[in-house]
Amino acid sequence: MRKLILVCMTAVFFAGSCSGGSQENPDYLNSGLSVERRVADLMQRMTLEEKIGQMNQCVGLNHIDESQAGMTEEDLKRNTAQAFYPGFLKEDIAQMARDGKIGSFLHSVTIGEANELQKLAMESRLRIPLLMGIDAVHGCALVSGVTVYPTSIGMASTFDPQLVYVSSRQTAEEMRAIGMHWTFAPNVEVARDQRWGRVGETYGEDPWLVSLMGEAAVKGFQGDNGLEKELVLACAKHFVGGSQPVNGTNGAPADLSERTLREVFFPPFDACVKAGALSFMMAHNELNGVPCHSNEWLMQDVLRRQMGFNGFIVSDWMDIEHLYDLHCTAVSNEDAFGQSVNAGMDMHMHGPAFVPAMMKLVEDGAVSEARIDESCRRILEIKFRLGLFENPFFDESAVKETLLAEEHKAVALDAARKSIVLLGNNGILPLTDGARYKKIFVTGPNANSQGLMGDWTFPQPDENVITFIEGLRMIAPLTQFTYLEQGESIRYMDPAKVRKAGEMARQADLSIVFAGEYVNRKDWVNKTSGEDVERGNLNLPGLQEELIRNILASGKPCIVVLNNGHPLAVEWIAKEASALVEAWEPGMFGGQALAEVLYGVVNPSGKLPVTFPRSTGNILSVYNHMPSHYFHPVVLEDPMPLYEFGYGLSYTSYEYTNLKAGEFVNGSLEVTVDVTNTGSRAGEEIVLLYMRDDYASMTRPVKELKGFTRVALEPGETKTAAFTVREDQLAFFGKDGKWVTEPGTFTVMAGKLSASVTLKP
């Protein structure tokens, strides 16, 4: 009894007097002190259980209610979007927050709930605020009433990192207005398998382009010079290899050489570290037989020691548990927790079982308390840097001033305009309102759907979204548009309506078909694209091909617009349609932007950030392939891409002349090329600069992107595009496992021009 009294008294004395400061005014609550001192003071006051609690994340209480109402425990095993905790009531989760056993919540999508959860945390012994996370991938689109920008693949089509930076900054502002501090973005995986449902979340297939876009996103979210209190924490994901799975499905194994990892997949993540990203998320998949969530080489050797990352690492949705129940590299969930944390994991997404399991692992000596301290310290540092201890709550009256601000809407529209790629045009575009084509028939499952906003979006107020048919009527008021609804769910199209479309097309001067994929997260079982929705082939799903054939059979001109998140096999449509337009998922103002492009208000300028293969059999189809990739022919079909990375048409024409590449001086090469608008319309050309290492000690790609810029040109105008290529951009991972830049000749390419330069020893 005497021993127990001594322990209790020691605990009280400790909490009240460590590092100076009283129990009423401890140092960690003193905003005038350094973050390092505040973290050290708080850590000394925390119990082991409270430290582990900071490493634990749970889903929001309202989310638990919604999920439990429509799911069984069996459903939980494969679901990666909804969750509840069998055996735990939401009141139990609330009590854990009061007890300091939860450090973060995700899937809380209202400012009211965010504040209520913070109130629970303020009832805990040390009043440590919660870090609120959300998937704000292209706007905070899981929340109603926000600005929804084009998805990442569309943003990549703009080849405009500044747009990514500005839209990310605006997203951060809207997030903070609704009680969020942490976005699970950017996704900087390099998309190499077009079947993969998450291509639309990425910035495409080129490591250089993805790196620059990812860097811009990180700085937009967090700030230009580190994490700013008014902004949000970025999260580079998913580390690594999930975008080239062995069978095209999300989370399937990745079997990749170290050379491919270092040359293709690591560079964007390294760029995010250099840009200041302070959280990373590991990938679902196993990499060369080792699950990423227990991969010490990835987390410690590569990410922390080689790249210099000093933030915290979070797991993806229940992926630590998958070490046990999927990968079978752990014998229990407890063993999985221990393996992952010892390998470098800092935060568990998600669930209440983590805290007691980790307590036992420390007690048993399987995980050291010093290892727990590392993770806890990293997480607390972020909370202090975000100013959460001073301002854990959010002003609900400020929401209306921030969400959907006029400048945010303007950027979303501008991005949509620049993201659209014109793939084919037999001269029918641009249209003229009320002129040649007075009666236009419009149909297709995406014609009047909020699916144009893409994945990671919940339904938005109808008045905030301009669908494709609405955009046409807005931009061309003199044209008579007749619309036949085909139903949004592509899997269950009505054959009678598909037949009727052919009949209605005969009565019109022109038809426009809006085809593609279905991505409604509220109707998960009917999705055909997006997270965890992969395709066995790249054909248009449902009866869409039959729909287009019926309309083409009318003999009238037909324009096909694709609304999708990954490339589709549309070779026959490209041949038969009067025009083919790739709209991607252009966001809430996509309908207006698309109509402006069709009617020539905007001259299309987007270029493909990912290759379109002719068929699923032509995966892996990327522009930066090795010379032997197409050495032998494929029988019965053309293996060459339908549209290569960088492809995109305009309503004007451009001529490239006077390509000049000097000599390498002080490790840099200056390249210039003149670009002339030889057409009759003003336009903006994306100038892409490629280089090829002509001869090297290891096989090098046929070409690699080394620079790009947007050039605005009036008819007849000429401008010079200038590039600087650093010598280290020509390096590759050599035979000895070291980076090397070998001397020799290099071919420089811009447009259809090429020049030779020599890098001397």
Catalytic positions, please? Answer: 316
Determine the Cα–Cα distance for residues 347 and 120; give it in Å rounded to an integer: 20
Determine the Cα–Cα distance for residues 152 and 453; give it in Å rounded to an integer: 11
Q: Which residue has the tokens 């005497």?
A: 2
Q: Which residue has the tokens 């209480």?
A: 61
Instruction: Kindly provide the residue ranges of all beta strands, DSSP E only, lying in 149-305, ordered along the sequence.
Output: 182-183, 236-239, 279-282, 286-287, 290-291
Q: Which two tokens stand for residue 209?
A: 């382009």
Determine the Cα–Cα distance for residues 42 and 30; give it in Å rounded to an integer: 11
DSSP state of 716: T
Q: In b/e form, how buried is each residue of 36-73, taking b as 16+ CB within 10 angstroms? A: ebbbbbbbebbeeebbbbbbbbbbbbbbbebbbeeeee
Is residue 168 within 8 A of residue 220, CB to CB? The reply is yes
Q: Which of 706, 690, 709 is nearest to 752 (CA)?
A: 690
Is residue 605 within 8 A of residue 418, CB to CB? The reply is yes
Q: Which of 265, 264, 258, 250 is nearest to 288 (CA)?
A: 258
Residue 532: is it exposed, middle or buried by C-beta count within 10 angstroms (0-12/13-18/19+)? middle
Q: Which of 473, 461, 450, 426 is nearest to 596 (CA)?
A: 473
Q: Which of 608, 616, 614, 619 is nearest to 641 (CA)?
A: 614
Is residue 510 within 8 A of residue 541, CB to CB? The reply is no
Identify any residues that bridge with 675 across adjacent strands, giving them in sequence order: 656, 719
Please list, in sequence order, all residues whose beta carbon lies within 8 angstroms of the beta carbon of residue 683, skipping any fewer than 6 positions away: 603, 605, 650, 651, 652, 654, 677, 712, 713
Q: Which two tokens stand for residue 590?
A: 């996509």
Angle at 606 between CA 458 and CA 524, to 5 degrees: 20
Determine the Cα–Cα distance for residues 162 and 212; give it in Å rounded to an integer: 10
Q: Which residue has the tokens 């007691």?
A: 356
Q: Which two tokens stand for residue 359?
A: 């307590």
- The SS3 of residue 219 is helix
Q: Which of 732, 459, 423 is nearest to 606 (CA)?
A: 423
Angle at 705 between CA 688 and CA 685, to 5 degrees: 15
- Count of positions (residues) in the chain: 761
End-to-end C-alpha distance for the chain, whole angstroms: 79
DSSP state of 201: G
Please list, in sequence order, all residues whose beta carbon lies within 8 angstroms of the beta carbon of residue 642, skipping any fewer than 6 positions away: 569, 570, 571, 574, 612, 613, 614
Determine the Cα–Cα distance for residues 187 and 203; give it in Å rounded to an integer: 8
Angle at 661 between CA 659 and CA 663, to 5 degrees: 165
Q: Please report, for residues 84, 573, 599, 625, the alpha-carbon distance to residue 426 in angstroms, rounded to integers and kept in the order given.
A: 53, 13, 15, 30
Q: In b/e form, how buried is each residue of 595-631, taking b as 16+ CB within 10 angstroms? A: bbbbbbebbbbbbbbbbbbbbbebbebbbbeeeeeee
- The SS3 of residue 628 is helix
